[in-house]
Structure 1
């Protein structure tokens, strides 16, 4: 990927909004420029526009004399904010300048007009509070403008999409361009952040930071795509992963996100099943989405869901939100739950079904005599009207118990995030990528 801090300046609507918001709060002109003092974006002015600012607005950047004057003060090497001296002959008022860096790399400069060559402490504090979001948005904009990144992300999305033709085309391009190896084992993980009060740029940057170290590990090669609140990670390896290793990796992702996002972020990770190479990676992606839904809905998973561990919940969690409610609990089971001994009989029924109908194992697990167990099972049959020796009746009750368990978990968790629209797969992947 081309280094984002070496590309031509670009300013998004989101970045413009952050700059305008800061300017309004300060009642001062604010601008973001690149390391060559070319304008990326700027706010409206507040009666403090000088000749240098007007020139920048008209010509997209500072004049060569102003740029030389600013750069001669060593601004791009400053370790912290400071004041740039003005020059009357250049029509330049003093500026307060903040180096905007992402992990040590200078992305640009935030400048605020300061006619007196100083700023009140409360103004500097306001600038300090606004700077992290501006840095992250600037970094996100520059990464998104990189053609190599755009190409790789488009190919990954097409590879994991619903169209088998575009999946095959994207697989060929990924292999031909040596972006990914033709390894036999593939797994997809999806990361979702839904509740953060931080800016989209901060969330996207945090997602990138959490995944960048997974592009290449000792055992796998990978690639990822990031949007404003979610990411997808594809990894390929010569050997299958240990489930514990995938869980540890997901825990690492959530820890990194926790260091960069506020407490409201509540990130979740969904781990898809391991599939056969790039051709079947889309299946792992679909499974990862279900696993992430489980992680969001079931607090006992502590924010990490794995398709391989979901069992029958994997099927139930694919039901739409409006359908997943108490109406799905079978009427015989509802009658049992409403009976005077409902809790005790529910526990007995769950244990009996989990033990595959084994009387010895069930009585041992419940620590009751077999005679007592037989009595309870007869009660269950009388109340429900179902035969516990009948496979279909057992399945009805067992599925009902699982639905009840899932609904209980949902009631204790936060709402499921709104689904994100899947990008429409182009009919010609190569043309789409080259155009990007």
Structure 2
């Protein structure tokens, strides 16, 4: 093995020698590198194009005793799984399984005289792996699978992440708005952390199964948006948003004016003074003194503004039964205004 040897060189040279398609996977059957592919079957396409496993590929390992094999094994075709014949050589470092070398042989061209070439290529791959010359470092693989999970539920990516991060199969995930040590970086400055069930206080709320990382990230983003909109929960967590969750989950097509038309009149004003006064007064439960202090207003000015709000919206914020409707409409306006570009 030369100092510049790589797994890619192993598969390319074996493929050229045999004129067949070659692939190397790690122990969890994650495709690491492959040669040019010709005459591929569904199992190989799934492994390369989708970086995932078919049930046939998983069952094949046990069905043909490949985990226990010590040398090249011929794997016959499995027509019902659209799987062509192939050869497999388990890769072991100090007796521990670290990967697999696969040679797709749809026309059964490999003969007994070719088997030593398979074994030699496998030994060379083992030396590369033992030397640490993997084609992708673990950080890159982690970023890949985390990115897949952030885009949507992906059971194979979740399984792969537990392998890479050495986590238990039942691990959960939360997403925080502020980063701390460890974790996986997400878009928008969020960070995901593996946690046990029952963890409390995360921005995204209660832990979710790892496969639901996207939903945890969505909840964290909505929580942060609600905080920017003026929500004052007991803790900055999805679990503590309470009524604000109705606002956060409101359908995009819902116009705040449909909840109460008075909000449109307030938004048409040249300044946001009346809008801010209405929000503050309602947030403080109609406390005149508290609102005046929060807005640094004289009480006379506050009363004047409350009267103007009444004139424009038809709602007396001090005692009108329509206050909850206007309050909800105002919260929805604030929430949407707080959306990041």
**Is residue 285 of structure 2 the alignment partner of residue 338 of structure 1?**
no
Counterparts of 2:112 and 2:284 in 1: how far apart (Å)? 74
Shift of 1:363: 0.8
Counterparts of 2:215 and 2:155 in 1: how far apart (Å)? 26
Alpha-carbon spacing, 1:397–1:8, altered in 2? closer, same or farther (3 Å):
closer
**Is residue 204 of structure 2 the alignment partner of residue 257 of structure 1?**
no
**Is residue 226 of structure 2 the alignment partner of residue 309 of structure 1?**
no
Counterparts of 2:242 and 2:28 in 1: how far apart (Å)? 49
Alpha-carbon spacing, 1:377–1:351, altered in 2? closer, same or farther (3 Å):
same
Aligned to 2:335: 406
Q: Secondary structure at the match of 2:322?
A: helix
Alpha-carbon spacing, 1:318–1:7, altered in 2? closer, same or farther (3 Å):
closer
Aligned to 1:128: none
Alpha-carbon spacing, 1:300–1:61, altered in 2? closer, same or farther (3 Å):
farther
Counterparts of 2:90 and 2:333 in 1: how far apart (Å)? 59
Counterparts of 2:188 and 2:113 in 1: how far apart (Å)? 39
Alpha-carbon spacing, 1:377–1:401, altered in 2? closer, same or farther (3 Å):
same
Aligned to 2:102: 40
Could you tell me the TM-score, scaled by structure 2's length?
0.51
Alpha-carbon spacing, 1:394–1:324, altered in 2? closer, same or farther (3 Å):
same
Q: Do 2:177 and 2:190's aligned partners in 1 also have CA atoms closer than 8 Å?
A: no
Alpha-carbon spacing, 1:15–1:6, altered in 2? closer, same or farther (3 Å):
closer
Provide Cα deviations, 1:195-253, integer angstroms capped at 9, x if missing partner.
9xxxx89965785479755x4xxxxxx814xxxxxxxx27xxxxxxxxxxx77698459
Q: Which has the higher contact order (CA 8 A, sep 6+)?
A: 1
Q: Which has the higher helix share?
A: 1
Counterparts of 1:270 and 1:399 in 2: how far apart (Å)? 33
Shift of 1:408: 1.6
Unaligned residue ranges in structure 1 (runs of 5+)? 20-30, 43-53, 83-97, 105-131, 141-190, 216-221, 225-232, 235-245, 276-282, 414-436
Could you tell me the TM-score, scaled by structure 1's length?
0.42
Q: Secondary structure at the match of 1:392?
A: coil
Q: Do 2:278 and 2:306's aligned partners in 1 also have CA atoms closer than 8 Å?
A: yes
Q: Do 1:209 and 1:256's aligned partners in 2 also have CA atoms closer than 8 Å?
A: no
Provide Cα deviations, 1:142-178, integer angstroms capped at 9, x if missing partner.
xxxxxxxxxxxxxxxxxxxxxxxxxxxxxxxxxxxxx
Alpha-carbon spacing, 1:340–1:69, altered in 2? closer, same or farther (3 Å):
closer
Alignment of 1:159-178 (within 5 A): none
